[in-house]
Structure 1
Amino acid sequence: MGIQGFMSYVGEHKEFFVDLQLRKTDIVIDGNNLYHRLYFDSNLDVRRGGDYDSFTDAVHQFFKTLAMCNIQPYVVLDGGCDASDKKLTTLKERAREKIQAAHSLSCGGGGSVLPLLIREVFKQIMATLEVPFVQSFSEADRDIVSLANHLNCPVLTFDSDFCIFDLKAGYCPMNYFQWRNPCRGKSLQDCYIPARCFSLERFCNHFNNMNKTLLPLFAVMNGNDYINLPAIEMFFSKVQLPVGSSRQKGRKHIRIQGLLNWLSHFADPAEAIENILKHLKKHEEEETRQLLATFMEEYQPSEVNLKDFFQNGVYESEEAKKLELPHWILTALAKGLLAPFISDALVLKRTILHVQVENMQRPSAHAIALPVRQVIYGLLCSVSEKSLNTSQTKEPATSTPVFHEFDRIQKALKKSFVSAAVLSGKFGGDQCSLSTLNQVPLTDRLLFLLETFGVTESILEAIPCLLQLPVAVTCYWIQYSEPKVKLQHMKALLLGIVFGELYKIVHSSDPKVPHAEVNKIVYDQFLKWKEKKSQKEPLELDAAHIFCQWQCCLQMGLYLNQLLCSPLPDPDLTRLYNGTLVHRLYHELKLASTPEDLLSASPRMYQLYCNMVHIVKDVTPSGFFQKRNSKEHRRKNKHPNGQVLDKRESTLLENLPSCSSNNRFATLVVED
């Protein structure tokens, strides 16, 4: 949620806060808020698809600091939208804002757009670090309050709604949580993180000892993400609010202070509501009374006890129970094994696709993955109609289930109707339902996954298991990307993947890792390329668009794999893609530089790279990476197909060592 202007208002009043030295305590963390803040506050790339490795380092450091101060985190992530879809208007408005921010960034301006896979990366980091986390069924705010009160510990977030909730141990705004500057005492036991905690008591005392039960009414009247009541605007137009002596600047702050002063004169919400209704038209009174009461409920703790989840791995949600979804789906959603995208598609038959920094003159980068999304929708259609028909939106008359997608068209947000794929075989008709999808034999689920991307199991055998899904996705991407993928794009992407594998070897704790010194030299050179200053060179929009399409394919590949209960292991996203490095490698390759020549110094990594190139080459049409030159060049160097090969690139493809599936385990074991 979020109350307009309220966070900046309370931030101007130090008297509302208590200074804390946080150590030896539990803390409940708003997960969505945390990964937003960590990414944007760490000055990481927002134009080239994301630096997931640098983000990983920042998250590691954050949780390392908590551990040093004996602070036990419990992270709660937002789930999908609830069945009422009451926040759709706000979500659409935010999506429009992100499109404008992405456009600004693509033109060299400012803006804040998170990389597409950041949430999945964040979950993987927490799983690796064994940080306890849970995914709420819908928005997490009320579940966070309930958990914090059960644990009697503070909440860490940066959301003004938490100034309204009645939290036993208070709310620590993220901007006052100085985790980057912990105070070290004489011993490790004395380490603490300086923080400020918002005090509801101090706040209410400031306003004539106001009854704190009036604060939800204040939030509703001032307006949050859900609420826009025209009748309340009528109230504001008729009432002279007592601002009092105010140092506030701006109309929002004056209105906030005036409304709080006005409410402080009433004993409880019921009395205040009756005084509000006096200023409205007679026919508006009853409806407004009911709406106010309904919206105020949003500031009560939920009935969900997430403490049960952290103790037993399960929790009860009445909201989820009403939808009669399969038990394994509910468990997977709670554990974060299925994304909110799946929940929204399943419950609402509606999804919102997140924009990236791409070429706004071209169709959305998400268009390339539409067939994969249709397959996902086809699998979800086998759930009971009771669950699928919760959406209020009317659909065109059709026998094929239709889903609604919100995506970018040029710089506008548009809704389109997308038919679910009609599945056949073991996944079609009455052969399989969502409730038993997890019981389908592994071999069938794997075959279905790989067929979606147009590859076979045998062709992927020459690479480690953790890279098989990304390489399958890469094969799909190369064939369907628009604009067409060039050899430099493919090589830059695969070299970026190898860089991630090099990181694991270089940072391995095993002293017997072969070629350690050579690998370190190669890794350091790649690191120099990553850190090489771009000197403010403009973003090459088509290249950015092509790499954005790869991330869209990978995202849907992950979601499909997870829905099929992971017939392939999910790849380690934390080191898989580095936008800054991949764009830099692409630039170097265009200048006739040959980063793969450097890679040849590391036999193991070079073999991995060659094997991935050969897999891609084997599934792409003959002559795919040939390119047209000028008419004069074509007349001099005529090719049977009317094309000429880029000699350097063609020679590279032909002369790369072949992959040997017979010896794959001896040469290609890349440690996790």
Structure 2
Amino acid sequence: MIEVTIKEVEMRIKGLAPYIINSNDVLEEYTLEKCDVVIDAQNFFYSMYKDSGYERFTGGEYDKYADYIKEKLKCFQKNTVTPYFIFKGGHSTNLERRIAKYDEQVRNAMIVINEVRDPLLSRDVAYQVLDELGLKYAISEFESKKNIVDLAIALKCPIISFDIEYCFYPTDYIPYTTISFGGNKLKCQIYRLEKFLNHHRIPRDALAVFGAMLDQNIFPEGYFNMRLQQLKRVPTFKNIKVVLSLLKGDTRKFRQSILNNITEENKQKFKEAESSLLSCLNYKGNRTFLVDYVLHGKLEFGRCDVMWFEKGVCSGRIAIPYVNLVKHRTLLGSSAIENIDMEDSSALSLDIVRYAYDLLSNYDGSTFTFICRDGTNTKRIEVTNELPIKKSDMVTANLFKNGWTDFTPLFDLFLQSMKVDPAALEQLPANARIFMVSLIYFNRKGKEDEAFLYSLMLCYVLLSTSSSLRSRHNIEEDSITETTASGTAATEADYLMAAKLTKKYFTAVGNRSDEKKMHHKLKDFEKRLAPSDRELIHKLDRKTLHLIVQFEFCLANMNYLNNLCATKYPPAVYHYIINGTFVYNLAQQLRNEEFPLLFIKKLLSEAPTILTLFLKLVDFCKGKAILN
């Protein structure tokens, strides 16, 4: 089969989305049941953390967020709908625009104008929940639209998104905002290209003219109102309706009037956009490796496969931050709320990133640019290869080019550089190993903070034990299986007691999580009494916020490296490890205690098996000389 290449279309036509959604003659009422559906994951999860109402300033409440995602996805299972998720990757073009946006995010984060942005690990939590539920997904190297359309064409099913570009493909498209997740049935509205064309009595080439002339990424709003006689008296907000009406007549004549009134340079832009849209409108789809991966769960690697990097991204072996790192030699820092008097919180994990970069670039000696926060501004740092991990004999030019099929000891080399014996990790539960390695790295690179370390470890013990308890209940057994290598297990009774004793530390500062979820039910005067983001941030200790973000970067990058190296260690599952609110609250409490460890021992005295698990982690850390 000959593969037809189409250019990814990135459009901005102001008013088109509401025009389609509010037009009763364009969308059809539809029920999703007993079918497949392809979901634009970038779009689907874009504001889901914010919608959940959980706290985001003190680090993610990832355990609660994971449950929120699971609940959201239940409706698909209930209606026998099989969803397939495709995520966006790095930036193939417009990297400077992304960098400019990052610069703005840094400034906004410091003054708490970041309503949409999610906590650092929230996207990875979405992957991990999909893994847990056995749902299929893949990650595009760059933009995901073409892959989404290819998969939808292969499955002959609709796409769920909220992106006007899908109106220009011959696939059925369900705007996300039309779906009713509440009832027993998944009611929604569906857009069909042929119905849209028939309703407006225009051919496909006319729709390409429409998209090219009104795309504000090419021509500013109102550009043609000043140039075309037919639009001079038309207010810009009516352009969509009027242009569609004009295209019912002589499309060629209208198109020529456009070309007659613009410069040669703009003619070229118009024709290129028109041609791209025609390709999309007539696209038949391609059976790509990503489509096969999603459908069959396997990736075929040729010998020294030239597409090894794209396939590594697709399968999740190569983390999304590594795409810009390798393709553009650029790494963006933190834009989270943190202590502006300290260095960018992502800088602490640069050694991990540099080692991954060296492996992916075959130690070619190149530098990459780290764009990071500097106060409330940004700066650029060239990161060299002057790091302690030298090239190993096992690092060959074909290191990852034949795929990830066998275990490699490359991660163990990093552990040895940290003076951590891989065999010592066998003392820990499997799901604690990457977490504890990250903790050791974090503590050695940063400033020792006993209260913060204890808070992290106890949070892990409680969340991982809770997950074990729920897993056991799912298979109708009674006891928890959170067991160390030495055989110590936590009992259900002890977990329930520990949960009761520590409940207040899981409560968001100012009780804002519950307030946000109930916000729409509050009366106006009650809403005015609820603490604002700006008021809250002044109450929070930014030093502790900084530590949380620093650790999350260390944990994420350690997980990315572990996955890249195809190790024997299972990945760290974030929603069974960290709840930022708990860590923040308990760390604040422990800093007020003369003897933090004694405080925890007393706190958990009525839950001895939970305390034992916690103390085993403490002993492990003391053995690695990171606690006194």
Aligned to 1:487: 450
1:45 matched to 2:55: yes
1:405 matched to 2:349: no
SS in 2 for 1:20: strand
What CA distance in whole angstroms lies between the structure 2 residues aligned with 1:440 and 1:364? 36
Aligned to 1:69: 79
2:479 and 2:491 in contact (8 A); partners too: no
Aligned to 1:254: 238
1:102 matched to 2:113: no
What CA distance in whole angstroms lies between the structure 1 residues aligned with 2:208 and 2:376? 37
1:98 and 1:113 in contact (8 A); partners too: no
Give the drift of 1:115: 1.6
Write out aligned runs for 1:427-506 (5 A).
433-435=399-401, 442=408, 444-481=409-446, 484-506=447-469
Letter in 1 for 2:459: G
Aligned to 1:153: 157
1:23 matched to 2:57: no
Aligned to 2:622: 617
What CA distance in whole angstroms lies between the structure 1 residues aligned with 2:167 and 2:224? 24
1:278 matched to 2:260: yes
Letter in 1 for 2:604: L
Aligned to 2:94: 87
Q: Structure 1: any 5+ residue segments left out of the alignment?
A: 184-191, 246-250, 384-398, 626-652, 654-672
What CA distance in whole angstroms lies between the structure 2 residues aligned with 1:93 and 1:504? 41
Aligned to 1:112: 116
What CA distance in whole angstroms lies between the structure 1 residues aligned with 2:503 and 2:465? 11
- Change in Cα spacing, 1:182 to 1:453, as seen in structure 2 (3 Å) is farther
Aligned to 1:3: 12
Give the drift of 1:284: 5.3
Aligned to 1:526: 502
Aligned to 1:636: none
Aligned to 1:196: 189
Identity over the aligned pairs, expressed in percent?
20
Give the drift of 1:204: 3.7
Give the drift of 1:286: 4.4
Give the drift of 1:475: 1.1
Give the drift of 1:122: 1.3
- Change in Cα spacing, 1:241 to 1:563, as seen in structure 2 (3 Å) is farther
What CA distance in whole angstroms lies between the structure 2 residues aligned with 1:31 and 1:4? 22
Aligned to 1:643: none
Write out aligned runs for 1:356-435 (5 A).
356-382=336-362, 400-420=365-385, 423-426=389-392, 433-435=399-401
SS in 2 for 1:197: strand
Letter in 2 for 1:144: I
Aligned to 2:138: 134
Give the drift of 1:425: 4.9
TM-score normalised per structure 1: 0.76
Aligned to 1:239: 228
Give the drift of 1:578: 0.7
Alpha-carbon RMSD across the aligned residues, in angstroms, is 3.3
Aligned to 1:588: 589
1:136 and 1:143 in contact (8 A); partners too: yes
Give the drift of 1:348: 3.2
Give the drift of 1:242: 3.9
- Change in Cα spacing, 1:296 to 1:205, as seen in structure 2 (3 Å) is closer
Larger deviation: 64-73 or 460-469? 460-469
SS in 2 for 1:577: coil
Counterpart pick for 2:603 among 590, 594, 598: 598
Give the drift of 1:126: 1.0
SS in 2 for 1:36: coil
What CA distance in whole angstroms lies between the structure 1 residues aligned with 2:328 and 2:492? 52
Counterpart pick for 1:222 among 198, 214, 220: 214
SS in 2 for 1:570: coil
2:56 and 2:119 in contact (8 A); partners too: yes
Larger deviation: 54-63 or 401-410? 401-410
Q: Deviations over 1:197-234 (max 9, x none)?
A: 2343454455x42224433443343336xx4458x986
1:325 matched to 2:306: yes
- Change in Cα spacing, 1:32 to 1:273, as seen in structure 2 (3 Å) is same
What CA distance in whole angstroms lies between the structure 2 residues aligned with 1:315 and 1:71? 25
Q: Deviations over 1:160-218 (max 9, x none)?
A: 22223221xx2112222112x123xxxxxxxx211122343454455x42224433443
SS in 1 for 2:28: strand
What CA distance in whole angstroms lies between the structure 2 residues aligned with 1:116 and 1:375? 21
Letter in 2 for 1:279: N
2:55 and 2:581 in contact (8 A); partners too: yes
2:345 and 2:546 in contact (8 A); partners too: yes
Aligned to 2:45: 35
- Change in Cα spacing, 1:564 to 1:531, as seen in structure 2 (3 Å) is same
What CA distance in whole angstroms lies between the structure 2 residues aligned with 1:468 and 1:479? 17
SS in 2 for 1:72: strand
SS in 2 for 1:195: strand
Letter in 2 for 1:42: S
What CA distance in whole angstroms lies between the structure 1 residues aligned with 2:572 and 2:163? 32
Aligned to 1:388: none
SS in 2 for 1:27: strand
- Change in Cα spacing, 1:614 to 1:76, as seen in structure 2 (3 Å) is same
SS in 2 for 1:404: strand
Give the drift of 1:30: 1.0
SS in 2 for 1:498: helix
Give the drift of 1:503: 0.9
1:326 and 1:434 in contact (8 A); partners too: no
SS in 1 for 2:258: helix
1:506 and 1:516 in contact (8 A); partners too: yes
1:309 matched to 2:293: yes
Give the drift of 1:240: 4.3
Q: Structure 2: any 5+ residue segments left out of the alignment?
A: 1-9, 481-489, 512-530
What CA distance in whole angstroms lies between the structure 1 residues aligned with 2:419 and 2:508? 37
Q: Deviations over 1:348-404 (max 9, x none)?
A: 333434522222343211111112111111111128xxxxxxxxxxxxxxx831223
Give the drift of 1:493: 1.4
Q: Deviations over 1:571-630 (max 9, x none)?
A: 122221111211121222234383443334333332222222233334446xxx7xxxxx
2:225 and 2:233 in contact (8 A); partners too: no
Aligned to 1:211: 203
- Change in Cα spacing, 1:204 to 1:452, as seen in structure 2 (3 Å) is farther
Letter in 2 for 1:511: D
SS in 1 for 2:111: helix
Q: Deviations over 1:77-119 (max 9, x none)?
A: 22333xxx323244234434433442233xxx66221121222
1:163 matched to 2:167: yes
2:103 and 2:377 in contact (8 A); partners too: yes
Letter in 1 for 2:367: V
Give the drift of 1:158: 1.7
What CA distance in whole angstroms lies between the structure 2 residues aligned with 1:213 and 1:10? 19
| Number of residue pairs aligned between Structure 1 and Structure 2 | 572
Aligned to 1:666: none
Give the drift of 1:156: 1.1
TM-score normalised per structure 2: 0.81
2:415 and 2:421 in contact (8 A); partners too: yes
2:55 and 2:508 in contact (8 A); partners too: no
Aligned to 1:267: 251
Counterpart pick for 1:511 among 474, 478, 500: 478
